A and B are shown apart, each in its own frame.
Chain A
Amino acid sequence: MIGFATRRFVQAMIVMLVVALLSFTMFRFVGDPVNQMVGIETSLEEREALRERLGLNDPIPIQFYNFLSKAVRFDFGTSYQFRQPVSDLFAKRIPATLELSFTSALFALVVGVPMGIFAGLNRESPISKLFLSVSLIGISLPTFFIGILLIFLFSVTLQWLPSFGRGETVQIGSWWTTGFLTVSGLKALILPSITLGLYQMTLIMRLIRAEMLEVIRTDYIKFARARGLPDRLVNFRHALKNTLVPVVTITGLQLGSIIAFATITETVFQWPGMGLLFLQAVQNVDIPIMSAYLLLTAFMFVAINFIVDILYFLIDPRLRVGRP
């Protein structure tokens, strides 16, 4: 067990190091940060002095070493655009992203699961076919397009819901802000959550439908029916339970990607989360924010995978056999 965990941990560290190296290399191709930090009339000497102060003139291995040695202490330096420590900016933006991701995942599950069950059980029904067509839209339309479509329908035409931002937020504790406790905050969550969760919803729906179709054909379901068990019991106790294993795995992993890739939704709805911060950082060559975001995202995925691996080890006895 300890040997297995250690091996996984070392692998995780290597992944993080590779991500750090990749992101660091990438920054050399995104443009000149100094240009974004000063006005156009700033003289060449002043620009050069700024490069010097930022350490952009140091040899590349030294820059990488400085970057790494600070990053392991979660010190990502000061944002070029905002002139504030990156860690402070992130702390302020994380609640917005997490609340949005959580609501989207909830939406995907609450809507996707029943739709999937229905479509799996009644595969010939016209409603099932409608669900499938809708899910096709969810998978094929780009996120920003769905977002803009929703804005024009519900904000501009019907004027029911706000088109941008988080609405009023309430401060909880020293650094968490929530939109769950105000009417405008809840209203502001609806459109971005649907936009962000639509893809996951269709994924879960299709997954459950496919699993259902498969499980229903198995012998134990046939046997259960032969025993004369009521439909409700067969469908939900025996069939659904057995479809859930892959769904839980996928949902867990998807939660990670919802958090990491909320970038586009956050941009369309001007949602003040980390994704928006990251995209603006890319436009302005704000290297400290970009590197912190990439590393945090990688860290999140590595951590999730690490936990999942350990969980498998605990759940599945087969993994334990045949290993020293």
Chain B
Amino acid sequence: MNKKLFVIAATLSVAGSWSAVQAETLKFAFQGSLNALDPYSLNETFTLSSLGNVYEGLTRRASDLSIEPGLAERWEIVEPNRWRFYLRKGVKFHNGNDFNAEDVAFSVDRVHSEGSDLSTRVPADVKVEIVDDYTVDFVLSGPNPILHYEWDTFYIMDKEWTTENDAVKVTSASDTAANHAALHANGTGPFKVASHEAGVKTVFEKNDGWWDTAEHNLDTVEFTPISSDATRVAALLSGELDMVYPIPVQDIKRVNENAGTVALTGPELRTIFLGMDQMRDELLYSDVKGKNPFQDVRVRKAFYQAIDIEGIKKKVMRDLSTPSAIMISPFLFSKAGEFERYPYDPEAAKALLAEAGYADGFSVGMDCPNDRYVNDEAICQAVASMLARVGVKVDLNAQPKAKYFAKILASGGYDTSFYLLGWTPGSLDSWNVLNDLMNCRDEAGAGSPFNNGGFCDPKIDELTDQILVEIDPAKRDDLIAEAFKIAHDNVYYLPLHQQGLAWGVSDKVQLVQRADNQFKFRFVTKN
């Protein structure tokens, strides 16, 4: 009994001392959980976003997503194939170790090792040469103007710490024992991981020895995953949490009407689009036999013009979307403004279908996820009913992402005729879109693995190769625009919209909502 009383007294005194210090604590929730702390084990936005508060890359992205120096003070291209990075001096990891060139070389090796999900961050043929303790050269096999575009999420790890703790191997799911780096973190960033219980709670603490001047005024950040939408919103409305995301679009009004909370909305970088099987000579799911209607550009254009994108924006997305004419966010491509959607015109669509020989329409099976993108299933339902108006009967097959992706991607043999997908280029650059979604591929997926429809336009492939090595930004943008124009003219894809971000924020908190949906604690102030 005495023991129990002692525990209660101790708990109360701890609680008492906490409030006396007046520490600023930010409490926030996200729908998913922070699984492993190893920065190379999963290439996924939330994981990288959270770990980006603890670890840092050679570069980093500012609140407007522009690239700025991170752990590297500056860099230059000394020869076309040789990039030189000058490292910041006096930076220390959370455990007190110095940051230097050895750590950079080590991190490149580790990110390339088996089990790493971020190996594409550094092209495989890049060689690292240490010039001195604070100068590193990256030697390429060919010019690459976007080498460092994804390095804001290629986090540098401490060689000594990782070696001492037997974590040189990337935490892989096939391991039998937990890897030290999956449960602990040792970065250079503005926050340290104070405690981490995967799927339950992660506590971050301010790093007093951070090299940069802190804009934030936080001492502690507490993260809880809350998967149920209603509970997440309730926790914000009741004032238990300072920030939650995402907010379901139907709850935005409620969050805004509540005193003390506001829903912060903005366009996300992700483009939602529809794709069509243009590779097989007969569709897998259709009543048209012996030929593939999607191989006819008139049919694809008819589908495009049958979709009332403004209607989807108003009714399905409740204004939280930006209709799109190209396959990349207008934020990420300077010439995006030159593209315009084909107008919504069901009559023109019917005429095009009739011209292509489908005056009575046809039926086609459509695949759709129901737990991946904002209102994904509702978008597909809306598209199905719009297509019904021009005579195309859509059999919708909406299923959870775990089953959906297993069906429509290469691992499922591209088992689809008509599908919905969302894409954010990891490098925030058009080359990734062209390379992953628009180049030719073979049946197994070699080439452009996510070109699920399998269309093949050699001209786009050629342009993609040129864009990869073109150093002059203006010329490069012209080439990109040319490639996108080919895709637009031939209607290889049906772009729909940029889905919106919706974060619920307490009035006590000021923060920056980045369009890449990364939440950085260093921009947060609380009062």
A→B interface (CB under 8 Å): 30-32, 34-44, 46-47, 49-50, 53-55, 77-85, 88-89, 92, 144, 148, 151-152, 155-156, 159, 162-165, 168, 170, 181-182, 267-270, 272, 276-277, 279-280, 283-285
Contacts and interface: CB of A to CB of B under 8 A. Distances in A.
B172 interface: yes
B96 to A, nearest CB: 26
B402 A284 contact: yes
Given A32-B405, A44-B445, A181 B198 contact: no
Interface in B224-266: 224-228, 230-231, 234-235, 237-240
Which 5 pairs of residues, A with B, have the shortest CB-CB distance? Answer: A39-B43, A31-B402, A32-B406, A53-B174, A272-B200
18 contacts: A37-B173, A39-B117, A44-B449, A50-B174, A55-B174, A78-B173, A83-B172, A83-B182, A92-B197, A144-B228, A155-B234, A155-B235, A163-B238, A165-B224, A268-B230, A270-B226, A276-B227, A280-B33
B228 A268 contact: yes
Contact of B402 (A30, A39, A50): A30
B35 A82 contact: yes
A182 B10 CA distance: 10
Interface string B29-55: 100010110100111100000000000
Nearest to B403: A31
A222 to B, nearest CB: 48
Nearest to B432: A41
A168 B19 CA distance: 14
A176 to B, nearest CB: 13
Contacts of B237: 156
Contacts of B450: 40
B417 interface: no
Contacts of A89: 198-199
Interface of B: 4, 7-8, 11, 15, 29, 33, 35-36, 38, 41-44, 114, 117-120, 171-179, 182-183, 197-201, 224-228, 230-231, 234-235, 237-240, 371, 400-403, 405-406, 409-412, 423, 426, 432, 436, 444-446, 449-450
Contacts of A42: 43, 117
Given A32-B406, A84-B198, 14 more contacts: A31-B401, A31-B402, A37-B173, A38-B43, A39-B43, A39-B117, A40-B43, A41-B43, A42-B117, A82-B35, A83-B41, A148-B231, A155-B235, A164-B226
A272 B445 CA distance: 40
SS of B interface (majority): loop
Nearest to A178: B7
Contacts of A35: 402, 405-406, 409, 411
A18 B173 CA distance: 27
Which of A41, A42, A46, A267 neighbours the largest number of chain B CB atoms within 10 Å of its CB?
A41
Contacts of A164: 29, 224, 226, 231, 234-235, 240
B29 to A, nearest CB: 8
A27 to B, nearest CB: 11
Contacts of A31: 400-403, 405-406
Contact of B198 (A82, A168, A170, A269): A82
B231 A170 contact: no
A83 B226 contact: no
Given A39-B43, A83-B41, A44 B227 contact: no
A53 B228 contact: no
Nearest to B118: A39
- In this complex, the member of B29, B235, B412, B423 whose beta carbon has the largest number of chain A beta carbons within 10 angstroms is B235
A42 B449 CA distance: 10
A81 B426 contact: no
Given A39-B44, A163-B231, A181 B11 contact: yes
Contact of B173 (A54, A92, A268): A54
Contacts of A269: 231
Contacts of B178: 78, 83-85, 88
Contacts of B405: 31-32, 35
A181 B371 CA distance: 38
Nearest to A40: B450
Nearest to A36: B402
Nearest to B423: A40
A152 B224 CA distance: 19
Given A31-B402, A41-B436, A151-B230, A82 B11 contact: no
A37 to B, nearest CB: 6
B402 A159 contact: no
A54 B115 CA distance: 11
A46 B411 CA distance: 12
A84 B240 contact: no
A251 to B, nearest CB: 28
A41 to B, nearest CB: 6
A89 B199 CA distance: 10
Given A148-B230, A277-B199, A32 B239 contact: no
A151 B174 contact: no
A43 B446 CA distance: 9
A35 B412 CA distance: 11
Given A38-B43, A41-B120, A284-B402, A32 B36 contact: no
A149 B44 CA distance: 34
Contacts of B423: 40
A50 B171 CA distance: 12
Contacts of B409: 35
B247 to A, nearest CB: 14
